[in-house]
Amino acid sequence: MIEAEHPAHLWRNPEPKRSYEVVIIGGGGHGLSTAYYLAAHHGITGIAVLEKGWLAGGNMARNTTIIRSNYLWDGSAGLYEHALQLWEGLSEELDYDILFSQRGVLNLAHSLQDVRDSVRRVEANRLNGVDAEWLEPEEVAEVCPIVNVSDAVRYPVLGATYQPRAGIAKHDHVAWAFARAADALGVDLIQNCEVTGLEVSGGQVTGVSTSLGLLAARRVAICAAGHSAVIAATAGLRLPVQTHPLQALVSELLEPVHPCVVMSNAVHVYVSQAHKGELVMGAGIDSYNSYVQRGSFHLIERQMAAALELFPIFARARVLRTWAGIVDVCPDASPVIGPTPIDGLYVNCGWGTGGFKATPAVGDVLAHTIAHGEPHPLAQPFGLERFESGALIDEHGAAAVAH
Amino acid sequence: MLIECPWCGGREEQEFHYGGQAHVPYPAAPAELSDAQWSEYLFFRDNPKGRFAERWVHSAGCRRWFNALRDTASNSFIRVCAPGEPLEGYR
């Protein structure tokens, strides 16, 4: 019998120290990325990432890995395009192949209003330096031959926006790459360590209580996705987010059949084909608030109906696995990044249905925000204060997922 | 989920629409609210992991609104009641 040796570990599993300079709550993509940029670009030492389960086992393991930057408003275009440019160099930056595949994304339009909104978004994207084109139905069929562009369906494809630089990446590799690089820079990645409360004294955060005891920290960043509000509430801080399940599913492994990413607001499904061969599909959130990583079956049924309307070729594919993640949704479908009324406490939440694509940009701008004590210019529009000033960033259209 | 409509009994979730947090009254004197108070009314809702008082409407049935107490950590309904009835057990 041959005993295989365990491959080299990508990171240490240290015991937590009693005190840190920066504690990041949540060891998903955003938390790991933030830790990496803090250590690599701001020279900060004494950083811990606390993860209640295993690294990147929450929404990082549950998303549909779509990366694009074709959002409508200037603030969003700035942030998501920054992310896309970081993605383009990320394998080199982290010296680890994240399998970033820029296969392009089509956002289909099915009504006259869809067409008008889409063309407007293409023009807005171009003004912001984001690659975008408007495609007529026959051009859509050239990019993605398996999309049904016939006019004999209930919601015919009237065209699509196309962002060629968009694509997908391998989520596990992204997490491992950030974790390995952060660990090499001395960041403590602490798994199975659940934060049960924020410690605040005199309006200043002083640490976190966890399942492994009290950890002191001068600065704390919440990167806990669906549980952000629960953690913030332990310090009496209310966040403008509601937590919902978001479901996705994959088919069995198939030969390469789907060359790009296709999203449809109106028929409402988004589909790509993973490197391994599964068709990866998602749709909208379940309507009710929930922290259960499970959704209702009728959403899957609707999502399948939408997928078959757009891709008749999928009729005989079988669903292999369905699941849900817990996402925190903001009223304007844009995230919250920035300081809080509690000194030393930073929040990165409200990413709702679209946080994966922003992973490197979140790390970069949140690390800058933590290091300098004031928002990175690209994070500036996304502060909590927008809900009082009224300067919302309404991305319900470009978010492409019903909220 | 199976949801117990106070008037029709247990029905499939598909017959219902969700109305978010219950008992959020329209401000009595909206013109007198500060920006912060107005923001709180418009954009901030409870988001507990646990018992949550919420509204549902039986849109494909009797089309009536009602309140429910549900545990968001398990999705189990604790009780439902007609609007105006007290929803005991929340906070």
pLDDT of residue B29: 96
CA distance A290 to chain B (A): 4
pLDDT of residue A402: 59
pLDDT over 90 percentage in chain A: 94
- CA gap A312, A306 in Å, rounded: 10
- Assign B85 a pLDDT band (cuts: 50, 70, 90): confident
Select the highest-mean-pLDDT range: A40-49, A300-309, B79-88: A40-49
pLDDT over 70 percentage in chain A: 99
Q: Are A277 and A250 in contact (CB under 8 A)?
A: no
A236 pLDDT more than 70: yes
- Assign B10 a pLDDT band (cuts: 50, 70, 90): very high
Chain-centre distance of CA A37, in angstroms? 17
pLDDT tens for A134-150 read: 999 999 999 999 999 99
pLDDT tens for B47-57 read: 999 999 999 99
- Beta partners for B4? B10
B91 pLDDT more than 60: no
Is B75 in Cβ contact with A241 (below 8 Å)? no
pLDDT of residue B65: 97
**Residue A225, phi then psi, degrees to nearest 5:** 45, -125
Mean pLDDT of chain B: 94
B73 touches chain A (CB under 8 A): yes
Segment A371-387 mean pLDDT: 97
Q: Is A276 buried (19+), middle (13-18) or exposed (0-12) by CB count in 10 A?
A: exposed
In chain B, DSSP finds a helix count (H) and a strand count (E) of 1, 6
Segment A229-241 mean pLDDT: 98
A192 pLDDT more than 70: yes
pLDDT of residue B84: 83
B31 touches chain A (CB under 8 A): no
Contacts of B15 in chain A (CB under 8 A): none
Interface pTM, i.e. ipTM: 0.95
Q: Three-state SS for A121?
A: helix
Mean pLDDT of chain A: 96
Q: Cα–Cα distances in Å, from A39 out to A294, A301, A391, B45? A: 36, 45, 32, 36
- Assign A326 a pLDDT band (cuts: 50, 70, 90): very high
Size of interface A-B (CB pairs under 8 A): 57
A32 pLDDT more than 80: yes
By Cβ distance, the residue of A241, A287, A387 closest to B47 is A241
Contacts of A240 in chain B (CB under 8 A): 43-44
A179 pLDDT more than 70: yes
pLDDT of residue A268: 87
pLDDT of residue B89: 61
pLDDT tens for B19-57 read: 999 999 999 999 999 999 999 999 999 999 999 999 999
Q: Pick left, alpha or beta for residue A8 (phi over 0 → left; psi -120 to 50 → alpha; otherwise beta).
A: beta
